Amino acid sequence: MASFFTSNQLQRNTLFIGLLIVLGFATLTAQNYSGYKINVKNTELVTKHMNWVYGGYRFTLDMHFNENTYNYYKSQSKKNSYDFYAQEHTGYTYLSQLAKQLKEDADQLGYTGWKLAEYLTAFVQQNITYTKDPYNYCFDYPKFPIETLVEKSGDCEDSAILLVVLLKLFNFDAVLIQVPGHMAVGLACSNCSAYYNFEGKKYAYIESTNSNGKIGYIPTDYKNVSAQLIKIPNIKPYQPVVTTPKPNQWEEECYCKPKKETKVITIGGEEYTIRVNETLVIKQNGLTISVSN
């Protein structure tokens, strides 16, 4: 479990329950859909310290990740749909172990239902720092949960994906909410005052990027705008092939990549090189050929 203190016990230290957890050490195997496995035994560990406050308690938790596992997921394609990065949680051993540690404290403190959801939300809101995508001017760069946890940073879709995965691991009915230029989480509710209707259910809005955001509060910028609710299946409905990108693939796919400096063409068996803003004019057999770069 995590270490936790009441606000008074931060000074008196009369209560201390601590456990160092190692996520995936010596046993975790990362596997892609083509069957290729990465052995992560005896590899370097990345240590991250988490702390958050909820219900008058301050919680601390040391998490250890295999660096190879992190690098493996970081190398995967970022061109899949958002739900792809959230629906694979059943195969994430490190997330199951994290959920187990969070559940021990939640059970001991009596957190169930709405309070349990707030406790998990606080974990994400207070530990993940908002940062823009590295290629935010070209396309979104969604992260797998392990990337967000190891880097302790991400933009709206990254913290939202992490939170929706944690909520679903605790058997909550949760979805992603996509509004223009932003992403959040939806939590199924029955007596919520502000909500989205989706497949006959009500979903309360959760802002994963605001450490003070309350469940059910919709920021003014996202009220009265169109929203798409994205369902996260518990079992993946398909198995797309995930390929490891070559170096700088993201820059090459980015539409804002600078134009190539030269163009090479072949005419009549001869190769011609055309520089930027240059026009090549060739006259052959009474024909004039003009090619610009």
Render 171-211 in DSSP notation, one character per residue: T--EEEEEETTEEEEEEEESS-SS-EEETTEEEEEE-TT-T
Angle between helix 93-109 and 113-127 (nearest 10): 130
The pLDDT of residue 192 is above 70? yes
SS3 1: coil
Show the DSSP H helices in 21-92 as ranges. Answer: 67-74, 82-86
Parent domain of 288: 259-292
Q: Which residue has the higher pLDDT, 264 or 129?
A: 129
The pLDDT of residue 24 is above 60? no
CA dihedral 48, 1, 211, 177 (to 10 degrees): 100
Q: Which residue has the higher pLDDT, 83 or 36?
A: 83
Q: Could you tell me the pLDDT band of residue 209, with boundaries at 50, 70 and 90?
A: very high
Stretch 101-125: mean pLDDT? 96
Same domain, 226 and 279: no
Tell me the per-residue pLDDT of 223-262, one tens digit each, with 9 for 90 and over.
999 999 999 876 433 333 344 444 444 333 333 333 344 5
Structural domain total, the chain? 2
Q: Give the residue from 91, 99, 156 showing the smallest Cα distance to 123.
A: 99
Same domain, 22 and 91: yes
Same domain, 118 and 207: yes
Please give the radius of gyration of the chain, using alpha carbons only, rounded to the nearest integer.
25
Same domain, 33 and 113: yes
Element (H, E) at 122: helix 113-127
Instruction: List, in sequence order, every residue forming a beta bridge with 271; answer none if it has no partner.
Output: 266
